[in-house]
């Protein structure tokens, strides 16, 4: 019990159906049959417990290690979203993995096959609530059979919009105040420059008028001098 005929052993191929081996009844003939350990495969959809009997070795039961939890595994990601009003929404994502096991019915040794392929858990959209910012996001992840269960707790933090507005207002007002003062200074300087530009031509006109009067007086005096000289010359003649 617990053994099966070894079909893969070349020594067992000497037996061919339809062949007569006992050709001489006076001679004893000896044949060797080769057996091997019987094995049974336990699938994840049909797990076994130590209460179940082995199929090829009724005198023995299945060993431990081939139960449902040994051949099936679930990795869970739990997302708890608590909104500012205190309500909590729970989203559960599961990654399922399976594998088979081979049991040696003689020794009871269990050999596991590989787990099924990795599972991709999709991202979750966290609700957008105006005036609040969530504490975390839920990205897409690839889960392996070696991963453990995870829990993501998401809460909301209120944005300090008033403070942000005050800071923005102060910065803005400060900028406007500085710009306004610079503009006033610029206008004041421009006014002074214009005033100076207007004043300079007026001063120049007065000087020009004085110069013209002086020139006219000089010409008049020269004319008188010529006249007096002519009269004196004629008188002397």
pTM of whole model > 0.95? no
Q: What domain range is 58 assigned to?
A: 3-158
Whether 189 has a pLDDT exceeding 90, the answer reads no
Distance between CA atoms of residues 186 and 173, nearest Å: 19
Give residue 88's pLDDT: 97
Give residue 21's pLDDT: 74
Question: Is there a domain that residue 226 lies in?
Answer: no
Q: Which residue has the higher pLDDT, 182 or 217?
A: 217
Question: Is there a domain that residue 19 lies in?
Answer: yes
Question: Is there a domain that residue 58 lies in?
Answer: yes
Take residue 32 and report the two structure tokens written for it: 């060797």
Q: Per-residue pLDDT tens for 46-98? A: 999 999 999 989 889 999 999 999 999 999 999 999 999 999 999 999 999 99
Question: Is there a domain that residue 186 lies in?
Answer: no
Question: Is there a domain that residue 62 lies in?
Answer: yes
Take residue 148 and report the two structure tokens written for it: 């453990």
Give residue 162's pLDDT: 61
Q: Per-residue pLDDT tens for 117-169? A: 999 999 999 999 999 999 999 999 999 999 999 999 999 999 986 644 444 44
CATH code, domain carrying 138 = 2.60.40.4300
Number of domains in the chain: 1
Question: Is there a domain that residue 167 lies in?
Answer: no
Residue with tokens 């044949």: 31
Give residue 10's pLDDT: 85
DSSP 44: T
Which pairs count as long-range contacts for 56-61, CB under 8 Å and 24+ apart, including other chains?
A: 56/1, 56/2, 56/3, 56/4, 56/105, 57/1, 57/2, 57/105, 57/106, 58/1, 59/1, 59/2, 60/1, 60/2, 60/105, 60/108
* Average pLDDT value for the chain: 77
Question: Is there a domain that residue 80 lies in?
Answer: yes
Q: In 3-state terms, what secondary structure has residue 103?
A: strand
Give residue 31's pLDDT: 81
Distance between CA atoms of residues 95 and 101, nearest Å: 20
Distance between CA atoms of residues 43 and 232, nearest Å: 156
Which residues have C-beta within 8 Å of that of residue 64, sequence separation ≥ 6? Answer: 49, 50
Q: Which residue has the higher pLDDT, 115 or 184?
A: 115
Element (H, E) at 228: helix 161-236
Question: Is there a domain that residue 55 lies in?
Answer: yes
């Amino acid at each position: 019990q617990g053994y099966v005929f070894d079909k893969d052993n070349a020594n067992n191929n000497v037996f061919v159906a339809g062949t007569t081996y006992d050709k001489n009844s006076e001679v004893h003939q000896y044949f060797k049959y080769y057996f091997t350990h019987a094995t049974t495969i336990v699938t994840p959809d049909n797990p076994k417990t130590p209460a179940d009997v082995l199929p090829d070795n009724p005198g023995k039961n299945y060993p431990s290690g081939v139960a449902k939890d040994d051949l099936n595994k679930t990795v869970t990601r739990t997302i708890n979203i608590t909104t500012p009003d205190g309500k909590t929404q729970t989203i559960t994502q599961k990654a399922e993995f399976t594998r088979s096991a081979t049991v040696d019915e003689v020794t009871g040794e269990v050999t596991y096959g590989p787990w099924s392929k990795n599972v991709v858990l999709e991202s979750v959209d966290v609700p957008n609530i105006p005036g609040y910012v969530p504490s975390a996001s839920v990205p897409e992840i690839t889960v392996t059979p070696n991963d453990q269960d995870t829990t993501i707790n998401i809460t909301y933090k209120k944005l300090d919009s008033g403070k942000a507005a005050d800071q923005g207002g102060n910065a803005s007002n400060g900028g406007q105040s500085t710009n306004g003062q610079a503009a006033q200074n610029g206008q004041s300087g421009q006014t002074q420059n214009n005033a100076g530009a207007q004043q300079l031509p007026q001063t120049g006109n007065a000087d020009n008028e004085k110069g013209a009067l002086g020139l006219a007086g000089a010409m008049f005096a020269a004319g008188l001098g010529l006249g007096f000289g002519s009269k004196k010359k004629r008188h002397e003649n």
